Amino acid sequence: MCLGIPGQVVQLLAGHEHLAKVDVSGVERVVNVGLLEDEPLAVGDWVLIHVGFAMSRIDEEEAEVALKSLQLLGQAYDDELEAFWSTRIVKDHEAGGDRDDGSGG
Amino acid sequence: MRFVDEYRDPVASRALVRRITELAGDRHLKFMEICGGHTHTIYRHGIEHLLPENVELVHGPGCPVCVIPMGRVDDAIAVARTPGVVFTTFGDMMRVPGGDGSLLDAKARGADVRFVYSPLDALRIAEETPDRQVVFLAVGFETTAPSTAVTLLQAQARGVENFSVLCNHVTIVPPIKAILESPDLRLDGFIGPGHVSTVVGQRPYRFVPERYGKPLVTAGFEPLDILEAVAMLLTQLAEGRCEVENQYRRVVREEGNPRALALLAEVFELRPHFEWRGLGFISQSALRLRPELAAFDAEARYELPGVRVADPKACQCGEVLKGVIKPWECKVFGTACTPETPIGTCMVSSEGACAAYYNFGRLHRSAAVVLSRRG
């Protein structure tokens, strides 16, 4: 449960303080980025995500290293990804899909 | 791939192992890795067999699921079985055995137990089902506790009255202190935890060199990170230094995450004492909700049995968590206790030393035995 999984910010949700949509291995979900508010994030930034929260900003190199390492975990990473896919911390219509907000943040 | 190769580079790892071998000389040295994620990396990549025999890695108590005592699991099950309750927790907690089965067993017997990825998912369930009481079982070190803090503040701000948290968050420093005070184990240094340190920073570990005279190096989760941390510990010993050093600079900052620390202080206070599986009662080692948030505190809302339940006699998780024995030295390892039917917590979580060794380590170990016979 202590895994930090790397994700790339694809959209900062307008009208939702501290929420961003991130891409983890091709799946986009909304996470809370409030813990990093001292250093505002931009689209394209990489973060380590833990239980629905971005816990630290990382560079692309670290993201790739961490991802490859996690993939080697096998089942433990599959379980974590499956759990990540299940997350839905805001209602679907608020999740900033393209049809609602095409600005990309 | 070019990035990753730097961390898996066999040439680099051979060079590090050579340096470690030279630095260690013929002394027998024991370093404890505190974090379960490190234990996993060590077994996954067979690092203990790359190291010279006289440099031993000992596994510590840094798996938050593993250290929850059975009585606390029973408390959780009692809340989960309360009529009208939706009980939520992380997947890893579902199979942790209590005195009378696990949360998964309680679910099979009719309790509404659901696993969630984030405490925010539990809050969302509460908002979507206002006619039910939604309880979130919070576990984890300082890595995870800020997430619970944010969730609680959101619940308070939005007035989500049917949401509460059963708080079992623990803190990283007291168990390190307990291990340093324990007469069972003589250690020469520590590999400090990675993700916890992104929150707490490096300062809280200073007592390790200052008061106990042991070096501590915070490390990342790649095999080369671990080897480099071991080399850094040995270099300190060789140079007569004893400090807190940071090998994981690319993620961990010296000061940690001040925002997350402020949230922890706002939402939680220290419990006078808390029971850890294997380590017993440790004073000021766990968090509870501040009185201002009592409305969201499941401990205040529900009648908890609060009974201390002794671990099964056969289970040696306590000794494994303290680093006194290795997983394979436990009497029930791999026979009565397996990841499918765990007796102890260390076999439940993938970060638990026993599960990590069961899944990966024993293959490396049997290969090493074969090689040593040939040699």
Q: What is the ipTM of this complex?
A: 0.90
Per-residue pLDDT band for A105 (boundaries 50, 70, 90) equals: very low
* Cα distance between residue A24 and residue B78, in whole Å: 36
Q: How far is A98 from chain B (nearest CA, A)?
A: 23
Per-residue pLDDT band at B5 (split at 50, 70, 90): low
User: pLDDT band at residue B26, thresholds of 50, 70 and 90?
Assistant: very high
Question: Is the CB of B121 less than 8 angstroms away from the CB of A53?
Answer: no
| Tally: H helices and E strands in chain B | 17, 13
Interchain proximity B195–A48, CB inside 8 Å: yes
pLDDT at B8: 64
**What's residue A101's pLDDT?**
39
Return the structure tokens found at B20: 């470690």
How far apart, in whole angstroms, are the C-alpha atoms of residue B125 and residue B118?
11
Please name the residue of chain B whose CA is at the shortest distance from the CA of residue A85.
B117
* The two three-digit tokens of residue B318, written as one number: 């306590």
Give the range among B39-53, B114-128, B266-280, B355-369 with minimum mean pLDDT.
Answer: B355-369
pLDDT at A100 over 80: no
What pLDDT shows up at residue B374?
65
Going by C-alpha positions, the residue among B337, B338, B278, B313 that lies closest to residue B59 is: B278
Amino acid residing at B58:
V
Interface of A with B (CB under 8 A): 1-4, 31-32, 34-38, 48, 50-53, 55-56, 58-62, 64-66, 68-69, 72-73, 75-76, 79, 83-84, 86-90
Read off the pLDDT of residues B185-213 as tens digits, 9 standing for 90 and up: 889 999 999 999 999 999 999 999 999 99
State the pLDDT at residue A95: 74
Mean per-residue pLDDT over chain B, rounded: 92
Specify whether the CB–CB gap between B372 and B352 falls below 8 A. no
Residue type, B367: A
Residue B138 touches chain A, beta carbons under 8 Å: no
Disruptive mutation site among B118, B170, B198, B363 for chain A (greatest number of A CBs within 10 Å): B118
Whole-number Å distance between alpha carbons of B286 and B29: 31
pTM for this one?
A: 0.92
List, as ranges, residues 146-165 from B with C-beta within 8 Å of A.
146-147, 150
Among B8, B33, B117, B251, most A C-beta atoms within 10 A, so best to mutate, is B117
For residue B6, name the pLDDT band (cuts at 50, 70, 90): low
Record: contact B221-A86, CB cut-off 8 A: no
> What is the spatial distance between Cα B7 and Cα B34, in angstroms, rounded to a whole number?
21
- Give start and end residues of each alpha helix (H) in B119-167: 119-128, 145-158
The SS3 of residue A74 is coil
Q: Which B residues 73-92 touch A at CB under 8 Å?
A: 90-92
For residue B371, what pLDDT is reported? 67
Distances (CA, A) of B66 to A82, B60, B277, B291: 22, 11, 7, 28
Does the beta carbon of B130 lie under 8 angstroms from any beta carbon of chain A?
no
CA atoms within 13 Å, Cβ hemisphere of A70:
22
Would you state the structure tokens that stand for residue A77, as one six-digit string? 């990473």
Q: How far is the alpha carbon of A29 from chain B, nearest alpha carbon, in Å?
A: 12
